[in-house]
Structure 1
Amino acid sequence: MIDKTIPYVKFQMERTLSQPLPDRQLPEGYQFSFYTPGDERDWQAIETSAGEFDHLSEAETYFQKNFSPYPDELTKRMTFVTDPSGKKVATCTAWWAKEGGPQFHWLAVMPEAQGQGIATFLAVKVTALLEELYPDQPAMLHTQTWNYPAITIYQKLGYTFVPGTKDFEKGMRILKDLAKRKG
């Protein structure tokens, strides 16, 4: 869940090639799948529930602008996790940056499904997918201090901060202070 109570600082992270990924499994009864037409509503619900958007209409607008123009790509790049009841509860996408490079995009897990390793499972799956789609390029992602629990996952998978973004040092101090409080 996004924590908007702390100051917002944006980061870029990257993962270089040739780093092994851990093997992660979903909890029993959970399923992994790729996007099929109609899943945009699930994506919107997941992202909104995780705090990325304040309203479903904002998520719908984002999806229409950034994903809908590429229906064939969605079926190969947008992933979901479904709980034992059949409800989609998590998503992440192996997308691309405006510059054309591999982009780990918007990992989100509904609050009721958090704390079960689903985010780590999806982070591993999407990182592996990026390596498959872009075998000779490092994977990139954008995150922010509000997503500090996800940053820990990314670091365990070998993603490192790319210095130079605005307020980078301030963001690093915020993350260090959060780690002290949580640790």
Structure 2
Amino acid sequence: MLDKSLPYLNIIMKRKAGMSIPYSLLPNEFSFTLYRDGDEVKWAEIETSVGEFQYVDEAINYFRNEYLTYPDEIRERVIFIKDSAGQYIATITAWWNYTQDRRNPSIHWLAVKPEYQGLGLSKPLVYKCLEVLLKTEGDNEVYLHTQTWSYKAIGLYLKTGFELLKTESFGTYLNDFDKAETILRDRLKDLF
């Protein structure tokens, strides 16, 4: 869940090209699946459950505007985890952002429904996303934008090879590292 008691500050992270992608097993009762037509509702439900959107309809509209305009791309880039009953319980997107004319591979929208958090799903999800980016974008630096509200995810990203960028950015994102550093040091003591 997002910690909205903190100030919202933009954080930019990068994983260097050429780094290996460790294999990380999902627990047996879970499996990966890729987007199929209509899965934007499942995506929206997951993202709303973690507080990224207030309403499912708002999340559906976002998905339609940002991703459904690329129907072939979403079928190989929007990743879900399902439980043994077939419920969609987590998601991540292997996407890109343009920085002027440069296309930057990037991770979008990691989310695990609250009742499934703490079960070891996020790390395999990040690694699966990195595998998809390697396949679709080649061996390049991978960026992501996050925020102080997601400091637990920042800890996960650090453990999966991403580094915090102090000034650099990508796409149109701001980088508020200078304002966020104290908050991150306080919340992620063992990683700084």
Query: The TM-score by the shorter chain falls in which range?
Result: over 0.9
Aligned partners of 2:129 and 2:108: how far apart in 1?
9
After the TM superposition, which parts of structure 1 deviate over 3 Å for at least 4 consecutive aligned residues? none
**Residues 30-45 of structure 1 mapped to structure 2, 5 A cutoff:** 30-45=30-45
Q: Which amino acid aligns with 1:179?
A: L
Cα contact 1:14–1:138 (8 A) shared by 2: yes
Matching of residue 93 in structure 1 with residue 93 in structure 2: yes
Which structure 1 segments of 5+ residues have no match? none
**Residues 108-123 of structure 1 mapped to structure 2, 5 A cutoff:** 108-123=111-126
Aligned partners of 1:42 and 1:94: how far apart in 2?
17
Matching of residue 169 in structure 1 with residue 178 in structure 2: yes
- 1:19-47 deviation line (CA, Å, top 9, x unaligned): 22222111122110110101110000000
- 1:156-180 deviation line (CA, Å, top 9, x unaligned): 1111112225432221110111134
Q: Which residue in the other structure is 1:65 paired with?
A: 65
Q: Which residue in the other structure is 2:170 paired with?
A: none
Aligned partners of 1:72 and 1:59: how far apart in 2?
20
Give the TM-score normalised by structure 2: 0.89
Give the TM-score normalised by structure 1: 0.94
Root mean square deviation, CA, Å: 1.4
Higher mean alpha-carbon deviation, 156-165 vs 71-80, is at 156-165
Cα contact 1:16–1:139 (8 A) shared by 2: yes
Q: State the 1:78 CA deviation.
A: 0.5
Aligned partners of 1:10 and 1:127: how far apart in 2?
22
Cα contact 2:13–2:145 (8 A) shared by 1: yes
Aligned partners of 1:162 and 1:55: how far apart in 2?
32
Q: Which residue in the other structure is 2:148 paired with?
A: 145
Q: Which amino acid aligns with 1:43?
A: W
Q: Which amino acid aligns with 2:70?
A: Y
Q: Which residue in the other structure is 1:178 paired with?
A: 187
Q: State the 1:132 CA deviation.
A: 2.0
Q: State the 1:13 CA deviation.
A: 0.7
SS of match in other structure, 1:97: strand
Higher mean alpha-carbon deviation, 31-40 vs 12-21, is at 12-21
Cα contact 1:131–1:139 (8 A) shared by 2: no
Aligned partners of 2:159 and 2:19: how far apart in 1?
11
Q: Which amino acid aligns with 2:107?
A: F
Q: Which residue in the other structure is 1:77 paired with?
A: 77
Which structure 2 segments of 5+ residues have no match? 168-173
